[in-house]
Each structure stands twice: as structure tokens, then as C-alpha cells.
Structure 1
Amino acid sequence: MTTEQATYSHGHHKSVVEDHARRTAKDSAAYLIPHIKPTDVILDVGCGPGTITADLAALASHGKVVGCDAVDTVLQQASEYAGSRGLTNVTFQKVDANALPFDDNTFDIVHCHQVLQHVKNPVAILKEMRRVVKPGGIVAAREADYKTFAWYPELPEIARWMDLYQKVARANGGEPNAGRYCHVWAKEAGFEQSAIEVTWDVWRYSGVRAQQFSKSWTGRILQPGFLATAERENFATEDEIRGISEAWKQWGSHDQAFIAIPHGEVLCWKT
């Protein structure tokens, strides 16, 4: 059985999961929403704390949604969140996306958000997603493209963070600039070029949301997925990374702070 070989650079520390739990279908899957029907059966791959998954379940109100992830703690949080919204058409289960435990042609839509950038073989994941979607169904993927981030104020420590993130993510087996490759990976996974729709969208965080993002990176840069890899590969010392953590705090305290985070998006129809 194929299993995931990459290390998740962000980890599942509270600073990460809390930030992920602020995501919604509206801000993270707007490109997919017009294609969701109330009766759809949907698979959400790498669902994390389940806020997007729950929104998909609300949209497919007479259908069914399955959220899957590889980490028990976030699945528990996702289940509790869906329960708090009174959603009865969504379930969650532990899954390795390299070997989805579902029959061929099961789902109307298979969705993932910020997953392909963290895996060893994104094409293999997309092939699995294609396998379990029905003919005529949609595989949807949205991935950040770190190389195109823009931010203010332009602290040198944040520029150094970006340099380190590129190195750490690749050392962990991922691709930090996945947004620009989504359409390429989709074709390699077997989708016809004419059946792939490509769009781009951008998160822009300022004000309170910039402060929250700052707090998240102040913490997550110190977690093993980043810090331990950077030290092991001699990319940076712990002291330097702690200095970057403090710089994130400083960045977030600036009243004009903003960060723009571009994403590549693909809708792929199984013909």
C-alpha cells in the first residue's frame, strides 16, 4: 500500500490549526461553489479542522460529504465543528490520500485545498482523486504559490523566512510553489487539457486578519516540521529562526501590515 513520504512542514500545532479553522468555502473554494448541487456526494481530501468541509456539506444539503485527513486530532475537531452547526450529512475518517479507501466512480466532486504542496507525489494524489470521482464529475484543487507572496512592511527577516520556507518545504518533500503547477499535474494525472479549467485567486490579509496570520507564523516557525528540518539541513540556526519568529510578531503589530497570498486553482472534469 502506498503511503505518504513527505513531512508536513507546518505541523498541527495550535498556531497552525487555529489559523486553518478560519477558512471557509467562500474564501477558499469560491471557484468550486457554482458547480455544487444540493444532491452532490463530495469527498474533501486533507480536510483539516473541517470548516471548509462543513460549508460544502451545507451547500450539498441533500447529498453527502466525507472529510478525510491523516491526523486524528484535527478529525476530532472537524467532527465537533460540524456537529456544532447541526450538520448530519457529513462524516470524517482517517485516510492516506495516496490510497483512498473508496471504490472507483463514487463521488460527484473530489476537492482538496492546500494539500498537493505538502505531498511527495501530487500527481499520484490527483490520480487517486480522479479514480474515485464519477465520469462527468469534478476534481478541484487550490494551492498557494509561495514565490508570489507580497507583504508590507518588507522586513528583511520575513524575506529570509521566505528563503528558508522554500528550502525547508522541499527538504520535507513538498513543493512550496504548487499553485503554478496544478494544471500541469492535473494533465499528468490523466485529465484532458480541454477538461481542465485554470483560475487564480488571492487572499489579502490586513488589520485583524494580518495580526492573526502573524501570530500563526510566530508559533509555527518554531515547530519541528520547520525548525528541526532547518537545523538538520544546516539552513539556519535555532537562534536565527527564533529571531524570525519575533520579526513575525513585529510585522503583525504594524497598523498597515498586509500580506497577499496568490493561489492556483483547477477544476478538472473526468471525461
Structure 2
Amino acid sequence: MPNKPSYVHGHHSSVLRSHSWRTVENSCPHLLPHLRLDAKILDVGCGPGTITCDLAQRVPQGSVIGVDMSADVLKGAVKLAKEQGLKNVSFTTDNIYDLQYLDGSFDIVHVHQVLQHIDDPVRGMRELRRVTKAGGLVACRDVDYSATLWYPDIPSMKEWCDLYQDVAKSTGGDPNIGRRLHAVAREAGFQRDQIDASVATWCFSTQDELDFWCNMWADRTLNSDFKVKAKQGGFATDEDLERFAQSWRSFAKEEDGWCTLIHGQLICRV
């Protein structure tokens, strides 16, 4: 049996709140120039399907399949597609290590914030490459948590970031994989001249943006699977987590608050 990747966050409503915010423009802009109207796309680790449905709208003569390990989270994706009246998108459960599709099935295989959560990203990348057609593209994007920046500089926020990295690493993931995606792709069989590497950011600075991002993370710190793993691993106590959640809530009220997350991006040509 193939290994089943471990997901540090789980699918609490606070987690899905951030996932449902994601679109093609804010989460995979590197893919926009490569979208053909008739492209056949696989979206791996699609979660609630907002990026998947956005992609489907952009390839009206093509098709998009979204896959995720969680059947429950896919119920929301199916509902979203129905609400948007999309006929060229479908969803099914699947495992990045052992995708159910034949070699060379898709023009584009897309993966967003997934490789950071698996213990063998090279194996995952090889599988993405396998199901991509010759001449097709594998598009990846992942964060580098250690490069997260804040203003003003609040020590407890740096403590939280260190805690997050410890918890993520304890599940076998690499929360800083964004900086080495190109190295993963090379080990998976891509030549360096087949890889276009770039960087992009999420930046939260307006009051609405800070309210969304900071209060979402306060909720995730106290209610998602992250809390369970932090406590079980001995990385934090209830008191620690409450303190970090309060730091997030306080940061949301900073008049000049600014938070930026840096992401590595790849377009890999098969």
C-alpha cells in the first residue's frame, strides 16, 4: 500500500476558511500565461476546490479534475462547482504518491501548498511528472515559513513561527520547502533547463486583510489539528497556544501591521 501523507492542519473550518480564499490570481499566478482554453488539468491536493473551479472557468473547452485525500472536504468542492454552474470540473479522492491516472494523461498538473506536507516530496513530484503529457507542464507552489516577515516585529510572532516549523517537521514535512522546490524537481528527473523558478508573496496589510489572516490563524492555533499535534509532540501547552492566539488577535489590530509570506514557484516542462 502507498504511504498516506500526513496533513498537519486537518480540515477544521478555520483551515478551510483560508483555503477557500485561494484563487488562480492570488495562489498560482505563475500558471496564468500557460492556460490554454482546451487544457486538460489535474489539481492535486485541491481542498475545497476554489482554485480548481477558477481553473475550470479559464479553460472552458478543456477539463479539470481536482483530487484530495479527504472525501469530506471534497463535498464542499462539488457544491462550489455546482453553484458556479461548471460542467467541465470533477472531484475524486486520490493520493499524490499513487495517482490513479495513466502515464501522460494531462496537459497541466498543478499542486499548491502540498509538497511541504509530505515526507517524500521527490516521490510526489515524480508521480506528478508521470501523469503529465510530453510537452505538458507541472506547476508547483509552496511557502517558506522561515522567511515570513512581520511589521512591527513582535517577539511572540517569531516564537509562533518557530513552533509552527517544529510541529510541521515532526509530521515529516518541510515547512520551508519553497526555497528548494527546484532541487526537488531536479531529483525527480527534470533537467534544470526544464524548470522555471520564481517567487511570489501573500501580503496582508490593510485592516480587512489583517482581520482575515490573523484571526484565522488565531482560530487555527486553538482549534485545528495543529493544536493536537503541538501538544502531543510536547512542543506547546494550552497556555502557550492561547498566548500565541492572542498575539495573532493583537497583531490584527496593529494600525501599521504588515505580514508577508514568501512562496517558491515552479513551471516544469515535461
Q: Same fold (TM over 0.5)?
A: yes
Paired with 1:235 and 1:28, the residues of 2 have a C-alpha distance of 30
Paired with 2:32 and 2:236, the residues of 1 have a C-alpha distance of 42
Answer yes or no: is the 8 Å Cα contact 1:161–1:244 preserved in 2.
yes
Specify the alignment match of 1:127 in structure 2. Answer: 126
Specify the alignment match of 2:180 in structure 1. Answer: 181
Provide the secondary structure at the position in 1 that maps to 2:140. Answer: strand
User: 1:156-175 alignment to 2 at 5 Å?
Assistant: 156-175=155-174
* Aligned-pair CA distance for 1:224: 5.4
Answer yes or no: is the 8 Å Cα contact 2:12–2:225 preserved in 1.
no
Specify the alignment match of 1:235 in structure 2. Answer: 235
* Aligned-pair CA distance for 1:154: 2.1
Provide the secondary structure at the position in 2 that maps to 1:98. Answer: coil
Answer yes or no: is the 8 Å Cα contact 1:201–1:264 preserved in 2.
yes
Answer yes or no: is the 8 Å Cα contact 2:201–2:262 preserved in 1.
yes
Answer yes or no: is the 8 Å Cα contact 1:138–1:269 preserved in 2.
yes
Specify the alignment match of 2:249 in structure 1. Answer: 249
Answer yes or no: is the 8 Å Cα contact 1:182–1:265 preserved in 2.
yes
User: 1:1-271 alignment to 2 at 5 Å?
Assistant: 1-5=1-5, 7-207=6-206, 208-223=208-223, 225-270=225-270
Give TM-score, length-normalised by structure 1: 0.96
Answer yes or no: is the 8 Å Cα contact 1:11–1:223 preserved in 2.
no
Answer yes or no: is the 8 Å Cα contact 1:10–1:223 preserved in 2.
no
Provide the secondary structure at the position in 1 that maps to 2:222. Answer: coil
Paired with 1:57 and 1:229, the residues of 2 have a C-alpha distance of 35
Q: Where do 5+ consecutive residues of structure 2 fail to align?
A: none
Paired with 1:175 and 1:195, the residues of 2 have a C-alpha distance of 24
* Aligned-pair CA distance for 1:153: 2.7
Paired with 1:183 and 1:4, the residues of 2 have a C-alpha distance of 24
Provide the secondary structure at the position in 1 that maps to 2:92. Answer: strand
Paired with 1:221 and 1:39, the residues of 2 have a C-alpha distance of 41
Superposed CA deviations along residues 23-72 of structure 1, whole A, max 9, x for unmatched, are 11011111111111011100000001111111111111101100000112
Q: Where do 5+ consecutive residues of structure 1 fail to align?
A: none
* Aligned-pair CA distance for 1:223: 3.5
Answer yes or no: is the 8 Å Cα contact 1:15–1:215 preserved in 2.
no
Answer yes or no: is the 8 Å Cα contact 1:106–1:133 preserved in 2.
yes
Paired with 1:116 and 1:179, the residues of 2 have a C-alpha distance of 9
Q: What percentage of residue pairs aligned between the two structures are identical? A: 40
Provide the secondary structure at the position in 2 that maps to 1:56. Answer: helix
What amino acid maps onto 2:135 in structure 1?
A: G
* Aligned-pair CA distance for 1:3: 2.3
Answer yes or no: is the 8 Å Cα contact 2:231–2:237 preserved in 1.
yes
Q: Which moved more, 1:213-222 or 1:261-270?
A: 213-222
Paired with 1:28 and 1:227, the residues of 2 have a C-alpha distance of 25
Give the RMSD, CA atoms, in angstroms: 1.1
Provide the secondary structure at the position in 1 that maps to 2:209. Answer: helix
* Aligned-pair CA distance for 1:225: 2.9
Paired with 1:27 and 1:106, the residues of 2 have a C-alpha distance of 27
Provide the secondary structure at the position in 2 that maps to 1:248. Answer: helix
Q: Which moved more, 1:216-225 or 1:90-99?
A: 216-225
What amino acid maps onto 2:219 in structure 1?
A: G
Q: Which moved more, 1:231-240 or 1:55-64?
A: 231-240
Answer yes or no: is the 8 Å Cα contact 1:40–1:60 preserved in 2.
yes
Paired with 1:224 and 1:4, the residues of 2 have a C-alpha distance of 20
What amino acid maps onto 1:128 in structure 2?
A: E
Paired with 1:172 and 1:212, the residues of 2 have a C-alpha distance of 27
